[in-house]
Structure 1
Amino acid sequence: MRQRHGFSLIELLVSSAVTFLTVLTVSAAFLNYSQSFYTQAGIRGGQASLRQSHLMVIRNLRMAGYGMEPALAFGFPDGWKRSAANNNNMSNRLVFRMRNPAFNAFASLPLSAASINLSQPLKQTLREGQIIQVMCEGAVAWSYAQLSADAPAKSTTLSLKGATGKFPNLNAFTAPCFGSAGGKINIFKIDVYDYSLRFIDDRPYLFRQHGIGPVSSSDPYGEPVAEDIEAFRVTFLREDGSPFLPDPTAAAPDYDTPVDDALRGPTNKSPANIRAVIVGMVARSSTRDLSTTADNKIPAFSKKEDAVKDFDPTTSARPQDLPLEDEIENDRATNKKLAPGIRRVVSEMTVQVRNMRSSEMPLPIYSLDSGACKGGAVPNDNYNCAGG
């Protein structure tokens, strides 16, 4: 009879140890891979937000000042800047305007400073606070006004806010061409692009407001356009490429001002002399890097620890002379520096604002053919389509 042999206790212990080490090694490799994938996914999310934000802002910014005097192309609301010694604007807000090329309406004469009657019903709704440009035929004269109430589609009356003598509430319709014997009066819509940073549910977003909405509202019409944008900074450049902080109260050159006039010189800080804008942004990864190795202990915002050594997290004061990549990030609930682990991407681009070099007010000729511009049809008079 053959004797049966089994595994000895030592063999079982050795095989168990080998199996355990194999499982441990595979598990560690899997965890490292998962962590790496998780980290890279977060980095890609931040990069995608940065690309989306930059493309959107730059595409809109290139049209700043279209159909408007250069002095009115950019807006400077209260608190728009944090100035530094090098003339760089360190704020996180950018406001600019442009005429909407897809909208046009015509007014019935005579005009009133309180309301405007339209010759044809609106094709789209205009919101309260909407800025409009009212222009005589041939751009002989023009002025601006702001709606005091919503004007629904198909309405024929625009109610205006009272004149204040300041843009946009000018309501200056005293030129002869605005009288009953005048010609065709164009109504254009002025779009406002107001970009800033805002926290929504403790997450940073690049936010755009439209400059419209009821005055009583603390949050006028607007929407977040990209998430995880932590810093947003603009620098305005002159014709020679030097940075400066625009002064909206400075005397501004107009269309007839000679090129060599002092109003266009290096000492005039009028916004009309803006020729380019540097747009800088910092986007953070959408997830934290939970790696514990020394090489991956990323500071909360800056790789330079000395850049934040003098920052007092118990106050709202922030250093005024830090470069873009050295901004400070605080937890909004505790007002303390965030824990390390967020990776960030910094990007800057220079945008040429060509409409700021305009030498005359543009006035495209729009069609009065009510049946035109539908289904791609060309107007019978070969003029431009508009109306939304």
Structure 2
Amino acid sequence: MTTTSDAPPDDSSDALADSTSDASLARSIARSAQIGKDLETDPGQFRMLTGDRPTGHLHLGHYFGSLRNRVALQDKGVETFVLIADYQVITDRDGVDHMRERVFSLLADYLALGLDPARTTIFTHSQIPALNQLMLPFLSLVTDSELRRNPTVKAEQEATGGRPMSGLMLTYPVHQAADILFCKANVVPVGKDQLPHLEQTRVVARRFDERYGRAGDRSAPVFPQPDALLSEVPNLLGTDGTKMSKSKGNVIELRMSADETARAIKKAVTDSDRHITYDPASRPEVANLVLLASLTTGRDPHTIAEEIGDGGSGGLKKLVTEAVNEHLAPVRARRGELEADPAHLRAVLAEGNGRADAVAQATIAEVREAMQMVYA
């Protein structure tokens, strides 16, 4: 497999510090645009890694933000790895309640939406020992100060008000690097705010090869330096008008029934102006519902708003409910079939874990050879 990175070598510390600069962002945008073009002509050169934490059930934000795109990339011919990050749940949580249920709920959603286990490797952290073993050499390549500069780690520090974080939370960026590099993924779908995370992975890959390289041939890197595939994620709000979040209970889950969806949309926040317009800046709650109708019907949001006109929030919510339920009907039907066959879900996950483990074993063997730790 070929690497997509053509960036020249640079100082790793400077690269980390520079990862949020305007120049770095411009480079990432340009590189992502080129990847987009390459995907149309030669998708087979790419290996993609993405995934989710099983902290709750998937919802429309996940669907429009990333899930649809994963299926599209798979269907283009990109080799795809999807991680159910069960170990990452315990980075910032004290327990693992309902873990098994949520893992299989994610899997059912993935399959119902169109991820094909014959073409996409779906696996869980906890079942791939060789992936997690990469943490040890990778941790030797980063400093404490670099980890603390990571946006996720910084946000956790601020959110806890100075309460000591777990060692796993502190080393989360390195675990993320292991997730990406164990399968030698060379493209990772991310938002612009996640570019520093990917830069940390690029730094780990670069430092490993600078320090160890391949025994006898340091010109052939062990790891690619993965690139970002940037996408414009729709800015969907929760039904209460704030940021969509599973913990707030303001989401529309993919697994909901048509009636549950209708009740959730009926409670959605709007405003007092009866005339419906699409104005995200001045009327964010109304615009959010119009956008949801647009995303599920493929129609222009301004046209939708004009057609509703003086129909008010009642007319808007009725249209959104019908659009969402119609759009998700085949997904929900397929999901019901999958949930009725738990043995099939277990078999799919076992097969994915087996494939991922074989890839991880091959990678850790290369790592041991590069580090001169082969003794048999």
**What TM-score range do you get, normalising by the shorter chain?**
under 0.3
Q: Compute the TM-score of the two structures, normalised by the length of structure 1.
A: 0.22
Higher helix share: 2
Higher strand share: 1
Q: Compute the TM-score of the two structures, normalised by the length of structure 2.
A: 0.23
Which protein has the larger Cα radius of gyration, Structure 1 or Structure 2? 1
